[in-house]
């Protein structure tokens, strides 16, 4: 499984001193960016910049345990499902072995001119397949 690690910053905290949950949703995107660099082999804006986009159409996220300042959140990224024009990715976050969140994100690949779904290019599909759950 591809994994990356993201540090919890002061700006991620809320007034209760724990990570504000919308900021943890942002961690999912950061983990996806690392997945593109580290696994796909091209950066996210490089892939989704010219003509293609990948808007999120659905996100589900469970928060299992508080995330605190200075935590290094280790995030596993797994491709769960690859459709013709869509992709579902699962994220598993943990801090020192303690699960802190799990999430699922469905993206649709779109042509940015029309904002309509378009088939995932073959080269990209192959990279997603290689990160697919066994």
Q: Which is nearer to its own copies, 29 or 81 (CB)?
A: 29
What stretches of the chain adopt beta strand conformation (E)? 2-7, 52-53, 56-63, 72-82, 86-95, 98-108, 110-111, 116-117
Q: Which is nearer to its own copies, 112 or 131 (CB)?
A: 112
- The CB-of-51 to its own copies minimum distance in angstroms stands at 11
Restricting to residues 69-108, name those near its own copies by CB under 8 A. 69-70
Please say whether the beta carbons of 77 and 35 come within 8 A: yes
**Binding residue count for its own copies, defined by CB under 8 A:** 41
Restricting to residues 4-63, name those near its own copies by CB under 8 A. 9-11, 13-18, 20-23, 25-26, 28-30, 33, 37, 43-45, 48-49, 53, 55-63
Q: Which is nearer to its own copies, 22 or 129 (CB)?
A: 22
- Comparing C-alpha atoms, which of 120, 98, 99 is closest to residue 108? 120
Please say whether the beta carbons of 110 and 55 come within 8 A: yes
């Amino acid at each position: 499984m591809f994994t990356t690690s993201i540090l919890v910053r002061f700006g991620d905290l809320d007034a209760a001193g724990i990570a504000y949950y919308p900021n943890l949703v942002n961690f999912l995107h950061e983990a996806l960016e690392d997945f593109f660099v580290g696994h796909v082999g091209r950066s996210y804006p490089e892939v989704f910049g010219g003509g293609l986009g990948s808007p999120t159409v659905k996100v589900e996220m469970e928060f299992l345990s508080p995330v605190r300042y200075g935590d290094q959140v280790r995030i596993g990224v797994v491709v769960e499902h690859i459709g013709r024009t869509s992709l579902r990715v699962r994220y598993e976050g943990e801090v020192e072995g303690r699960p802190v969140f799990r999430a699922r994100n469905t993206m649709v690949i779109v042509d940015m001119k029309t904002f309509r779904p378009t088939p995932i290019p073959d080269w990209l599909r192959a990279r997603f397949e290689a990160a697919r759950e066994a």
